[in-house]
Structures are given as C-alpha cells and as structure tokens.
Amino acid sequence: MILQKKYSQQLIGMLLLVVILTLVSISLGSVSIPISEVIDILLGGQSSKSSWDFIIIHFRLPKAITAMLAGSGLAICGLLMQTLFRNPLAGPFVLGISSGASLGVALLILGASIFGGVFTSLALSKWAVVVASSFGALLVLLAVLLTAHKIRNTMSILIIGLMFGTVTAAIISVLTFFSDAQQIQQYLFWSFGSLGNLSWNEIGAFTIIYGFGISGLLFIFKPLNALLLGENYAKSMGIHIVRSRNIILLTTSLLTGVITAFTGPIAFVGLAVPHITKLIFKTSNHIVLVPAVGLLGSVVLLICDMIAQLPMSEFTLPINAVTSLLGAPVVIWLLVRKKKVYL
C-alpha cells in the first residue's frame, strides 16, 4: 500500500512537471511571452498584445502538444521493445518501421528528380510527405507481422527488423546518389526531425492515430510483466505468446510510424527514457512503468525542444540533433555504470 502511494505521488509530480514545462516551452522563443500571459490566453482570455494570441494558439501550443505526443509515444515504444526482446539497447526503431517511413519519404522527395512528373508537385505537399511516410511504415509493418507469424523466435524478429533497416538505408543511398542538390537538401531537412509547423488538422489526425496505438496497451499489461522472466515462464502463466507479441509489435509499429510521419525520425528518446524511468521508480511493474515512461518521455522532449528553439533567437536547432546529444551520454553512462538495471 505504501509503495502504491509512493508511485502515485511520483506520477502526480511528473504530471505537474509536464504542465509546468509545457507553459515554459510555450513562453520561450524568438518572442518571449510572460507565463502569466500564456495562462490567460490558454484559459480563453485576452493578452496585452494580439500577436501573442496568434503565436501561442497557432504555433507554440501545437508544437508543445506534438512534443508531448511524440515524446510519450517513443518512450513507450522503447519500453515495449526492451521488454519483448529482453534487450536494454532495443528501441522503437529496431523493427525497421522508421526506416520504412524514411524510405517512403525518400521515394517521394528524391524520386522527384529521378522520375519527375507527379512526384515533383507532390514532394512540395506536406500531407503527401505524411502519406508517403505512413505508407512506407505500413509496408514494413506488414512485413514484420508476416515474419512474426512465420517465425516463432523473438530474437529472429529483432534481427530481421534490423535487416529491413539496412535494406531501406541502402535504397535511400542509391536514390540520394541520383538526386540533385535541392531534393537532397529537402530530404535532409526532413530527416533532422521537427516538432513545429503542424496545423490543428494534422494535430487532430496525429492524436487519433496515437490514441489507437495507445489503446493496445490495455491488453498487454499482464503479458509484459510475465515476459520479463522469459517466454517459457509467460506460457506457464497462461499467456498467449503469439497474440501478445503481435499486439506489442502492432502497437509499437503504429506509434512509431505515425510519430515518424508527422515529426520525422527522432533518436534516443525511446532508448534512454525507459532506463531513466526504471532508475527513478525502481520497479519493473509495467502498470506503473507505462504511464511513468510516457510522462517522462514528454518531459524529456519538451526540454529538448526548449534547448532546440534557442530562446530569444530566430534560429531553431534540429530536434534530432539535440535528442542525440543528450541521449547518447545517458546510454553510455548506463553501460559504464555496471549496476543493476531493472529489465
């Protein structure tokens, strides 16, 4: 009972931290807006400057929501993959879903200079990029699910997922070789990742698909805890291994695919956040870990976004670069630490 109360207090504290960081993130940027004004605008009031209303409602609030959705989704995917494969270095991209999304975008953008025609006009459309990314992720998802149906060994699925990533990277390299500088630059900017520039319609679509992905977690809390001790133990507990594994793969693929489609690839959040969460909460119970990882993922990506947007500056650093710079030292520290890590 004491432990449950402790976890509840920690989760509430982390939720409050998310709210505070969201307000701070919205207030920072090339135009600094007082937090009191931000709160007034979000509560439906009027600010002292009309331009602040437009900046917050149409730019900074969608960006903060995107950061929370992407951060929580990637962190949860990382936790699912580390549990399924029992590998602390597994992340949301090990299945090759992100690589499939990248291939879809590469075919659209880099293919414009090779195939021309309709590709040239579509490459400039934001929704076309989202659809191409989603389609590429879907194809890899179907391949992974087909593989999971044919192969019973979980580690073999991990290796095959990595091979999908290698093949798609090779195809992208070939496309890059035959593309002109403008298309390469456009694809490169997409690969940097971005939390901004999403309209409310895109946020709505993002949220709906994200909700479908998260709903799969309701069916796998017990299997996740059982899988920590191996598949044989899970079977002895009456867990349907194949069905549980398919739900985990589908949930991870759906979340990773939609996040990559709308924000581009974002590294290290899914890899590092689950480990940090386990060190803070000191538990391996997924009923506690899943919401905790989701909240901490939102915290981490909001912090990275604040660093990336360089307060009082008109420049914004690539979010992928910031997460990698912060995430890589954490992973190295975890490996060097040589103490117990909750798997």
Q: What is the pLDDT of residue 342?
A: 46
Torsion of CA 214, 215, 218, 221, to 10 degrees: -20
Least Cα distance to 192 among 125, 260, 103, 90 occurs for 260
Q: Quick one: DSSP state of residue 231?
A: H
Mean pLDDT of 135-146: 82
pLDDT of 119 reads: 52
15-19, 50-54, 153-157, 328-332 — most confident range: 15-19
The 3-state DSSP class for residue 60 equals: helix
- Number of Cβ within 10 Å of residue 58's Cβ equals 12
Tell me which of 2 and 66 has the higher pLDDT: 66
DSSP state of 309: T
* Lowest mean per-residue pLDDT among 57-61, 143-147, 187-191, 224-228: 143-147
pLDDT value of residue 69:
96
**CB burial string 104-133: b at 16+ within 10 A, e below:** bbbbbbbbbbeeeeebeebbeeeebbbbbb
- What angle (nearest 5°) sits at the alpha carbon of residue 259, between those of residues 199 and 128? 55
Domains, the chain, ranges and CATH? Answer: 2-315+324-337 (1.10.3470.10)
More confident of the two residues 311 and 315: 315
- Measured distance CA(176)–CA(179) in Å, rounded: 5
In angstroms, the CA 291 to CA 27 distance is 26
Q: Give the pLDDT mean for 131-144.
A: 83
Pinpoint the alpha helices (H) of the chain. 2-27, 35-42, 50-55, 61-85, 97-109, 111-115, 118-122, 126-150, 154-177, 181-191, 200-215, 221-227, 231-236, 241-263, 269-281, 286-308, 319-337
312 pLDDT higher than 70? no
- Note whether 187 and 110 are within 8 A (CB): yes
Which of 94-108, 208-222, 295-309 is predicted with the least confidence, judged by mean pLDDT? 94-108
Q: What is the mean pLDDT of the segment spanning 224-253?
A: 82
Checking if the pLDDT of 31 tops 90, the result is: no
Q: What is the structure's pLDDT at 311?
A: 59
The larger pLDDT score, comparing residue 13 to residue 312, is at 13
CA distance 46 to 271: 41
Give the confidence band of 239 by pLDDT, cuts at 50, 70, 90.
confident
Are the C-beta atoms of 64 and 18 separated by less than 8 Å?
Answer: no
Structural tokens at position 92: 């949301």
State how far the alpha carbon of 12 is from the alpha carbons of 1, 111, 289, 334, in Å: 17, 48, 14, 26
Mean pLDDT of 246-274: 89
Q: Are 26 and 38 in contact (CB under 8 A)?
A: yes
User: Which of 246, 268, 269, 266 has its CA nearest to residue 258?
Assistant: 266
- Residue 115 confidence (pLDDT): 60
Confidence of residue 1 (pLDDT cuts 50, 70, 90): very low
Label residue 232 exposed, middle or buried (CB < 10 Å: 0-12, 13-18, 19+): exposed
Q: What is the DSSP string of 204-218?
A: HHHHHHHHHHHHGGG
Give the tens place of pLDDT for each residue, 2-18: 557 788 888 999 999 99
Per-residue pLDDT reduced to its tens digit, 193-230: 888 878 899 999 999 999 998 998 888 888 888 888 77
Q: Are 229 and 263 in contact (CB under 8 A)?
A: no
What is the predicted pLDDT for the residue at 124?
54
Q: Would you give the DSSP letter of residue 43?
A: T
C-alpha count within 13 angstroms, C-beta hemisphere, residue 104: 28
Contacts of 244 (CB under 8 A, 6+ apart): 219, 220, 223, 227, 234
Q: What percent of the chain has pLDDT over 70?
A: 91
- pLDDT for position 338: 53
Structure tokens that stand for 160 in this block: 């095959």
Structure-model confidence comparison of residues 240 and 76, the more confident one: 76
Amino acid 90: pLDDT: 81
| pLDDT at res. 120 | 53
Instruction: Please report the pLDDT score of residue 261 as a whole number.
Output: 87
Going by pLDDT thresholds of 50, 70 and 90, the confidence category of residue 339 is low
Q: Is the pLDDT of residue 121 over 70?
A: no
Rg (CA), the chain: 21
Give this prediction's pTM.
0.89
Mean pLDDT of the chain: 83
